[in-house]
């Protein structure tokens, strides 16, 4: 390596982190998938997997270039389309492709998060289209605003204004939460909402997803140090304790309010904590992280009730957890940022006045509004043209069967017998069903 | 005493139960079932292999009623369960010779 | 970094290892959760998740300081409460917060292991309290004894006496196993034990947990080298082969004794092997590890029958696997330690005489006795005051419903219809159930 | 470390990669396990776990030595049996045991892959024997051919002929696929094949397996750089985008052909992409990887129909996905290899002519033929002697019960009651069932 | 011949089976069921949304018996299944016209 | 009208359905069941603890038929479900007093 700065240690951590962040999207798929009814779990999972497919391709084609190149404060340029010319370049202490792969994983999970708001009722093709468009005109620019540092010639939120968002409280969580709200409004409520039971069909699957998210999130947050150093250590520790505290915060609220602490609550609280610590993990102390966690867990536990008050069916609480949690964490920095970690700026409670808090609020609201408006428009256009929502009949019978011709489980031996093999299409042959049946040996 | 058995669409269970409750029936026993009939099943595809699923999920209710209530109960069930599309199901009755409430040993109408 | 010793490679590996070890606790939750009946799987999982919550907070507050500071042989001091002052310090070649985060994960999984002994019958609040107290007065001191090295001024077992416990055979497994035995005695047998069937409700979930444990354990053992070096490589390889051999050892015993090798057996054997190699992975050769694995798998396969002989309901075999496996591995070092790896001390079979074996035995028994006695006392006090066990009625109907107002699965569409939405508490509003029902659209 | 080349960063990444690749085998177990019927999921999982057990032991005993030592082009020597003398040696920039552990994980997953071809009908003991023999006389030599570099005195395919196989398209996937085909022929079709429904019993489990495989595969491919460097970055990025593209490629074919995109399709496509990019990930660009992915996804989606045309019951499509995908990726290198990455050789489309393509073809066919022939012979010998297939009665009732005396799930409370405790064998005691029953408390 | 159907609490199945076996009944058919009646269900809470579950798990047994055994069988079931608390279930009988053992084609009492 | 109930081995369901269809029966209702009888269950072993499972999986079919078809339907089911080994199951009939098709309200034979 010609680059004297190159660090195999940093590279090792970023490679591992990239893998960890990729894992979060399947984790999310199970977290969400376990929460829906048995008739739409596969669709829920598939929305996440298809998002991985679409966004990865867009990223190589132009996404990385739009987010991480150029000198414009609002959007990148096309100098690295097709990841052209990056096979041997470095980005700081690591290979540029490793940085690009790491950031790709963020671009994947952000739209995937949105799917939770519109469970059980989305046309699959419409979802794929929405992901492609929203990622291009919302995520890539917003990632540029927040994550692109170029010595003062980077994005307007992070590099120029100096708002802190260590790992994506604004660019990922507020962004996804606001878009989720928009789509929940565009698509409307599920048939039977607030009348029919819509309980999670598989809570161990939800907890598995939560466990995978927690695990992967160490890559998300500590990886965002883009180095294996003390900052990564701070981010790691803060992530752990804020998440732990938020899990406790959520179930304490439940215990007081409902009389029971629930498994879904502990998982939801953990995710709320992960969300809230995401922007803050590099700029606050572990003690402040405990406080942030408890706060985020409690606030989000209350916020998921908002949809019943205002009457929008944010099915899996993308707003209540990701948007609200993102706001809590982003603003908390304005209160508790310590100059030991920021290298200067201080939060309100450390004597920094309202400056940082103001920047944080601008960042949070700018992203929220931009994302909400654009997502609403994209959603409406899709809805008016190709249609965004399945028919009521398909929704009632379940989108797994209607959209994917599959059902999730076949756990008893007896019902097997209600099925019969009806043919398969071998390569190069047109075998009809009836032929096929007679061919059986 | 009669046993009214009804096989209906699963999402109609709540309506049927409500209808029975408002009629005064105090209990029933529900079983998951699968029906085969005029209603078409669906097909599923796994790695290009297609399977025809001919059984359609149903719920099966059993309600013990006094003789004089049979027709009203049947009517209540039928009208609550009807959607008008194929596969709405069947209701039938069989004669019951004895009914006992396990908890008390009461027999006959008192057992309901 | 001012520290010339600092290694980004070591830091990268310890960050990854910390994430891996965190994942072990959800892994344990599924390993245990799959083994209980369907009516208590959520509670089983939740005991692990709540342990993550409680212990993480205690660790920041005072746990790390009590375990890894000071010069007393038995307990640390309060110099690092709140992790104060550690944002920029290093511990050897890595940031101190990374070391602290790594060790935190050990502090989490140890009490979580205990929960397996008392499945299906514990009051959730009592469990949370037990974890807080036991971790404070048992785990933190024992970690200090075993893991705290300070140039001869560290813990009495590791740094001073020179017993080997590379990654926690005593501090983690014997410790948890002895406490599990104590609690199984305090709480008594489950209703219907040895009469009713208590088979695992979801074996794929058990195997998933075993897979996650195996994966995470590489962080546990190879991470305990606290560096990415040859020692880590030895620990890694030994972990893999001992675990593999133990899985085979267990199912060979099954095949001979019962006529069938089982899936639960292969998973149990793997965990037994992981336990046994934990203390030994840094001090024996790969060939010795095969032997240790076979031995541990076979011995633990037999040891899980002890509870039927002596009549205690160690529900998921914390004693038979973790205490017995921990003893096997800890003592094995006294037989097979090689001076190539220890830098001096040798096991009995390498001509080292009984010295090392004696130290190993002292370490194992000291931890076992301390943990058993304290756990028994804490358990009894909780039992006599707030009560440790649920009512028989709740136990029969299942703790998931009784304690958490949840059931794990809702896999059929038909039974859905037996449920109805009964209201939700929106933020700031007191909505009654009946109001809510009429509001449905 | 005496070795000035030693890199803790590279070591950190290889340790992490080794753990990631180990995780792939449980991942495979769930990917496969979810696809079979409920009556054989445990056996499917257990075939993978037992493979981990057997191969790990063989590896230490002689496997590593046979694969990675000596100067013979076809097979290693016995200089490192028992991993003797490797506790402190390095292999390039990393400890030799780390390299050995990494390669061990490849030796594990390769035979495990084969099990998919013969689901639902294999005697467990026969499988264990097959794994031991096939790994010894097929996998270890082939790994030597492909993966052993020794300055021109290594294996004939990689080091001498100069065919590219970055991470095992030939040695792992074609190898396993060809052996799977052989065993599918030896064992014959399942009872009721093409007549009875044999749908996946648990699709979320399949998707979980796919997610674990994808995650672990970053270790497999990017770890094969044996360093945390730019090459690892290229391999990582290519792995991600090819996999994403292949997932899309498969479901596009489904949408066109069957009218529905399926969850099983997106998972299968992802695995097909992972397979195809495996050999190519170090020698092609990200743009070419998108193309390879789309191609592999589409081709494999069609190829899984081959078995219906030719009438062999490759139950879970080891041939259609691994052999076909392996060929696609291996040959693709001959078309798209870029000299920027190979340091010289070019693919056909980069002006390199047919030279490289020819080498790739030789490598692919040599491995396929060797593996097929040997697997067929081993399979036949086992079948004629101890028998390879269970009785029809056991197959119908399900191998889980017949071979392992277990059933996978017990999800309802009611059926519990059909079971009764029938005794356990406590250590050192011969307790009969009837005694045991009377002892119940 | 009669068909005795009993809906009882799941954990009582073993006791009922034992009682029937000791009475000499050689077989029965068991189905999972859910009951609705006086016995209250439970409520569950998911993210603050409460659901009322009105159906209570039961098992449903069917036993074919000869006419003269009916009363004894009913009594055996009732006393084995009784806990004394609400929800113990019901037992009822219906007349059976024909019974066949599939394996042999035997009819009537021989088919049992 | 009669109700024919059959408890048969699960893998025989398709054969029975085919037999009924070719006889002209247009519908049926299927429930999963577990049988207890002469047929032995199996034992399972978990960590050395052995459990005896006495219940054997069965499917339970209900077919409403007109009076004159009863014997033919019984014969069709019996011969389709027979394997000749223990546990093939039972078929029985009970009298039905009324049958209604929910969708149309048709009664009697027209309801089938
Ligand atoms: N002869 C029959 N005996 C028992 N159940 C029947 C019979 N015919 C139909 N059923 C039940 O009634 C359900 C509805 O019947 P189907 O023919 O699909 O529609 P419809 O009753 O509206 O004409 C079936 O799914 C099945 O459960
Ligand atoms: N009219 C009825 N018809 C059919 N089954 C009934 C009827 N009433 C009650 N059951 C069944 O009996 C069970 C017990 O009834 P329930 O009213 O709860 O208690 P109890 O029988 O002790 O008064 C119910 O769960 C249900 O399965
Ligand atoms: N007396 C009975 N009442 C109801 N069902 C019965 C009775 N006896 C047997 N069965 C059902 O018939 C099935 C087969 O009975 P079994 O005695 O095992 O074999 P076979 O009928 O071939 O003699 C049982 O599993 C059970 O479901």
Domains and CATH numbers, chain E: 2-111 (3.30.70.120)
- Chain center to CA of D103: 13
Minimum mean pLDDT range among B40-54, C214-228, C406-420, D377-391: C406-420
Q: What is the dihedral of CA A131, A171, A234, A52, to 10 degrees?
A: 10
Q: Which atom of ligand 2 is nearest to the CA of B25?
A: 1
d(CA C131, CA C114) in angstroms, rounded, equals 9
Query: For ligand 1, is residue B90 a contact (CB within 6 Å)?
Result: yes
Site to probe by mutation for ligand 3, drawn from F89, F91, F92, F94 as the one with most ligand atoms within 8 Å of Cβ, is: F89
C258:F47 CB<8 A? no
**Residue carrying the six token digits 């994506």:** A168
The two structure tokens encoding residue A400 = 């797994």
Residues of D in contact with A401 (CB under 8 A): none
pLDDT by 10-residue block (mean), chain D, 441 residues: 87 98 98 97 98 98 98 97 96 97 98 98 98 98 98 97 98 98 98 90 98 98 98 98 98 96 98 98 98 98 95 97 98 97 94 96 98 98 98 94 95 58 54 30 25
Residues of B in contact with F3 (CB under 8 A): 92, 94
D264:B46 CB<8 A? yes
Query: For ligand 1, is residue B39 a contact (CB within 6 Å)?
Result: yes
Across residues C342-357, what is the average pLDDT? Answer: 95
Per-residue pLDDT reduced to its tens digit, A347-380? 999 999 999 999 999 999 999 999 999 999 999 9
Q: Which of E44, E47, E50 sits opposite A304 (nearest CB)?
A: E47
Numbered ranges of CATH 1.10.3430.10 in chain D: 8-392
Atom 20 in ligand 2: residue holding the nearest Cα = E87
The answer on pLDDT for C420 being more than 70 is no
Report pLDDT for A3.
86
Site to probe by mutation for ligand 2, drawn from B13, B25, B27, B74 as the one with most ligand atoms within 8 Å of Cβ, is: B27
Counting other chains too, the contacts that F105-112 makes at CB distance below 8 Å and 24 or more residues apart are F105/B78, F108/F1, F109/F1, F109/F66, F111/B90, F111/F64, F112/F26, F112/F27, F112/F64, F112/F65, F112/F66
**Residue carrying the six token digits 């599920």:** A190
Report pLDDT for D259.
94
d(CA D141, CA D72) in angstroms, rounded, equals 10
Choose, out of D3, D8, D99, D112, the residue to mutate when testing the contact with C (most C CBs < 10 Å): D8
Query: Which chains have 3 or more CB–CB distances shorter than 8 Å to chain A?
Result: B, C, D, E, F
Q: Calculate what percentage of chain A has a pLDDT beyond 90.
A: 90
Across residues C332-352, what is the average pLDDT? Answer: 95
Q: Which atom of ligand 1 is nearest to the CA of B34?
A: 27
d(CA A201, CA A77) in angstroms, rounded, equals 45
- The number of beta carbons lying within 10 Å of the beta carbon of residue A420 is 18
Report pLDDT for F41.
83
Report pLDDT for A248.
98
Residues of A in contact with F58 (CB under 8 A): 414
Residues of F in contact with B37 (CB under 8 A): 26-28
F48:C254 CB<8 A? yes
Q: Which of C197, C260, C268 sits opposite F47 (nearest CB)?
A: C268
Put simply, whether D426 touches C (Cβ < 8 Å) is: yes
- Say whether A408 sits in a helix, a strand or coil: coil
**Residue carrying the six token digits 């039972």:** F90
Site to probe by mutation for ligand 2, drawn from B28, B70, B108, B111 as the one with most ligand atoms within 8 Å of Cβ, is: B28
According to DSSP, residue D281 is labeled T
Report pLDDT for A413.
64
Query: For ligand 2, is residue B64 a contact (CB within 6 Å)?
Result: yes
Spell A209-246 as b/e; 16+ CB within 10 A means b: bbbbbbbbbbbbbbbbbbbbbbbbbbbbbbbbbbbbbb
**D7, D232 in Cβ contact below 8 A?**
no
Residues of B in contact with E86 (CB under 8 A): 103
Q: How many CB pairs under 8 A join D and E?
A: 21
Q: Which of E43, E48, E54 sits opposite C418 (nearest CB)?
A: E54
Task: Kindly report the nearest CA distance between residue B65 and chain A, in angstroms.
Answer: 29
Q: Calculate what percentage of chain A has a pLDDT beyond 70.
A: 93
Going from the C-alpha of B17 to that of each of B59, C420, E59, the distances in angstroms are 12, 12, 20
Across residues C343-362, what is the average pLDDT? Answer: 95
d(CA C176, CA C271) in angstroms, rounded, equals 14
The two structure tokens encoding residue A395 = 């929704």
ipTM of the complex, rounded to two decimals: 0.95
Choose, out of D56, D109, D218, D423, the residue to mutate when testing the contact with C (most C CBs < 10 Å): D56
**F27, B88 in Cβ contact below 8 A?**
no
C420:E55 CB<8 A? no
Sign of CA dihedral D16, D21, D26, D27: positive
The answer on pLDDT for C229 being more than 50 is yes
Report pLDDT for C195.
85
**pLDDT, greater one: D203 or A419:** D203
**Residues on F contacting E at a C-beta cutoff of 8 Å:** 2, 6-8, 31-38, 54-55, 58, 60, 70, 74, 77-78, 81-95
Atom 8 in ligand 1: residue holding the nearest Cα = F27
A258:E45 CB<8 A? yes
Give strand pairing partners of F91.
Answer: E100, F6
Which ligand has its closest atom nearest to the C-alpha of F41? 3
Per-residue pLDDT reduced to its tens digit, C372-397? 999 999 999 999 999 999 999 999 98
d(CA F108, CA A38) in angstroms, rounded, equals 37
Helices (H), C115-229: 124-134, 140-147, 175-187, 203-222
d(CA C356, CA A14) in angstroms, rounded, equals 41
Spell D340-366 as b/e; 16+ CB within 10 A means b: ebbeebbbeebebeeebbebbbebbeb
**pLDDT level of residue C414 (50, 70, 90 thresholds):** low
Put simply, whether C37 touches D (Cβ < 8 Å) is: yes
Per-residue pLDDT reduced to its tens digit, D135-179? 999 999 999 999 999 999 999 999 999 999 999 999 999 999 999
C396:E11 CB<8 A? yes
How are beta strands E42-46 and F42-46 bridged, if at all?
Answer: unpaired
What is the full DSSP assignment across C234-270? HHHHHHHHHHHHHHHHHHHHHHHHHS---HHHHHHHH
Per-residue pLDDT reduced to its tens digit, C181-203? 999 999 999 999 998 889 999 99
Entry pTM: 0.96
Q: Which residues of chain F have pLDDT under 70?
A: none
Put simply, whether D200 touches A (Cβ < 8 Å) is: yes
The answer on pLDDT for A298 being more than 50 is yes
**C233, C164 in Cβ contact below 8 A?**
no
Report pLDDT for C258.
92
pLDDT in tens, chain B (112 residues): 999 999 999 889 989 999 999 999 989 999 999 999 998 888 899 998 998 888 899 999 999 999 999 999 999 999 999 999 999 999 999 999 999 999 999 999 999 8
According to DSSP, residue C190 is labeled P
Kindly state the greatest CA–CA separation across chain B. Answer: 58
- The number of beta carbons lying within 10 Å of the beta carbon of residue F112 is 18
- Chain center to CA of D213: 10
**Residue in F closest to C265 by C-alpha:** F47
Phi-psi sector, D82: left (phi>0), alpha (psi -120 to 50), beta: left
Report pLDDT for C422.
64
- Chain center to CA of F95: 16
Per-residue pLDDT reduced to its tens digit, A133-175? 999 999 999 999 999 999 999 999 999 999 999 999 999 999 9
Query: For ligand 1, is residue F57 a contact (CB within 6 Å)?
Result: no
State whether CATH 1.10.3430.10 applies to domain D8-392.
Answer: yes
Measure F84 CA to ligand 3 centroid, in angstroms: 14
Give strand pairing partners of E99.
Answer: F92
Going from the C-alpha of B48 to that of each of D190, D256, D289, D305, E23, the distances in angstroms are 18, 12, 26, 7, 54
**Residue in C closest to A208 by C-alpha:** C26
Measure C359 CA to ligand 3 centroid, in angstroms: 65
């Amino acid at each position: 390596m010609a680059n004297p700065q190159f660090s195999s240690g940093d590279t090792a951590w970023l490679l591992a982190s990239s893998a960890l962040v990729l894992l979060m999207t399947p984790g999310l798929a199970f977290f969400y998938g376990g929460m829906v009814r048995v008739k739409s779990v596969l669709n829920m999972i598939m929305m996440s997997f298809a998002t991985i497919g679409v966004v990865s391709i867009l990223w190589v084609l132009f996404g990385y270039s739009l987010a991480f190149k150029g000198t414009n404060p609002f959007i990148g340029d096309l100098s690295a389309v097709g990841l052209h010319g990056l096979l041997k370049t470095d980005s700081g202490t690591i290979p540029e492709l490793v940085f690009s792969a790491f950031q790709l994983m963020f671009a994947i999970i952000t739209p995937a998060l949105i799917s939770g708001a519109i469970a059980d009722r989305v046309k699959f093709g419409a979802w794929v289209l929405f992901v492609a468009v929203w990622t291009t005109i919302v995520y890539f620019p917003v990632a540029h605003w927040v994550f692109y540092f170029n010595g003062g010639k980077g994005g307007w939120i992070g590099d120029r204004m100096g708002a802190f968002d260590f790992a994506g409280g604004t660019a990922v969580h507020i962004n996804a939460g606001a878009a989720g709200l928009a789509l929940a409004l565009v698509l409307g409520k599920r048939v039977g909402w607030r009348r029919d039971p819509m309980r999670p069909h598989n809570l161990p699957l939800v907890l598995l997803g939560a466990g995978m998210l927690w695990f992967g999130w160490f890559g998300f947050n500590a990886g965002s140090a883009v180095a294996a150093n003390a900052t990564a250590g701070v981010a790691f520790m803060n992530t752990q304790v804020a998440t732990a505290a938020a899990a406790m915060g959520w179930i304490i609220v439940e215990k007081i309010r409902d009389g029971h602490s629930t498994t879904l609550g502990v998982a939801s609280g953990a995710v709320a904590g992960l969300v809230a610590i995401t922007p803050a993990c590099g700029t606050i102390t572990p003690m402040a992280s405990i406080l942030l966690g408890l706060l985020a867990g409690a606030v989000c536990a209350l916020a998921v009730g908002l949809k019943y008050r205002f009457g929008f069916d944010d099915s899996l609480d993308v707003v209540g957890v990701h948007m609200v949690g993102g706001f809590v964490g982003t603003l908390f920095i304005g209160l508790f940022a310590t100059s030991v970690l920021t290298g200067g700026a201080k939060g309100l409670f450390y004597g920094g006045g309202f400056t940082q808090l103001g920047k944080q609020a601008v960042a949070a609201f700018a992203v929220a509004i931009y994302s909400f408006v654009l997502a609403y428009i994209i959603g409406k256009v899709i809805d008016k043209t190709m249609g965004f929502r399945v028919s009521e009949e398909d929704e009632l019978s379940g989108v797994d069967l209607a959209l994917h011709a599959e059902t999730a489980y076949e756990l008893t031996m007896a019902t097997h017998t209600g099925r019969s093999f009806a043919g398969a299409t071998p390569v190069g042959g047109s075998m009809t069903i009836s032929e096929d049946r007679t061919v059986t040996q | 005493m009669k046993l009214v058995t009804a096989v209906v669409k699963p999402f109609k269970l709540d309506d049927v139960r409500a209808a029975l409750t408002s009629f005064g029936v105090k209990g029933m026993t529900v079983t998951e079932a699968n029906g085969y009939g005029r209603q078409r099943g669906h097909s599923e595809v796994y790695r290009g292999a297609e399977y025809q699923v001919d059984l359609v999920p149903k719920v099966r209710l059993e309600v013990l009623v006094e003789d004089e209530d049979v027709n009203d109960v049947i009517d209540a069930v039928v009208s609550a369960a009807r959607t008008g599309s194929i596969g709405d199901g069947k209701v039938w009755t069989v004669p019951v010779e004895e009914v006992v409430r396990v908890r008390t040993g009461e027999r006959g109408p008192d057992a309901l």
